A and B are shown apart, each in its own frame.
Chain A
Amino acid sequence: MKVAIIQFPGSNCDLDTLHVLNNVMKVKADLVWHKRDDLRYYSAVILPGGFSYGDRLRAGVIAANSPIMKEVRRMAKDGHPILGICNGFQILVEAGLLPGALLRNSSLKFICKWVNLTIVSNKAIFTHNLKKNHLLRMPIAHNEGRYFIDKDSLKEIYKKNQIILKYVDENGKATESANPNGSIDGIAGICNEEGNVFGLMPHPERASEKLLSPFNTNDGIKIFSSMIDYINRR
């Protein structure tokens, strides 16, 4: 098993994600430059966080048209796990692999802080191992993370269990003050209908070592290990 971490010009969580896969999860992973067009030898793809193309035009939109994305689409269609973290989530949305849009935070400011998240659905192969309502702690760091989707589509993704993560308070309640960026219904992460493409604004790779967590937690591991278990079972 080998995971491809795609590097776009301006990606900046690529090395962090590689570190966590190699040294924490003990899984093989490669950094793959966005101009490559062959991912045949990989069993999963991660689009890391950062500012691909400096967020020019709109976050993620230029990267969504990179040569590698054709191959990412094929991998998605073939049922391989595709994980988009932060800017990676924005790219997946811009590429049409996930529904909705990510807008400027309601505060109009970049926000970097640790948040509480709840598992709304374990449909995604990245949350298979987790129970519903399980509480996770991870940091967010973004300018354009306000998830938005029109009313009808929102109903649709509720019905199909595509809403995976929501921002909540430390008691697991969805409150206005626990929603850091004004996302609709406090949505922090969603998956596609099949459950193999997952995008989230929080950074699991920054929350996978207790040393780095103000709460001595390593909840990020849970996302990666669900993905790895799935690949091993596949």
Chain B
Amino acid sequence: MTIIPDLKYAKSHEWVKEEGGIATVGITDFAQDALGDVVFINLPEAGDEVVAGESFGDVESVKAVSDLVSPVSGIVKAVNEELIDAPEMLNSDPYGAWIIKVEQVTDREELLDADDYEALCAEEG
């Protein structure tokens, strides 16, 4: 399982990269592995508000429909529309297949660094 050193991680298995006031959010390798093959994604739209700890969309995999939980509060600046036609990218490249970019970030879930996230995954393994 891959964990990228310079990202931050939510306990609900999303990764966050904050750069220049923009938080980019995706799901982790652990999350995609637990989900199984993703067949569909429901995305928010640019301009929508997201709230830390609350659902901002969902993914359907062969195993379940599951919430996507936002690690930050803010306004959606962009969504990765490529995922609509190719949701399987979440499986093949979880850290490349970002889901949303959030601006005007006002609040964050408790975020873990790579080492703590690795420990969490080992525990949930």
Q: Do A and B bind each other?
A: no
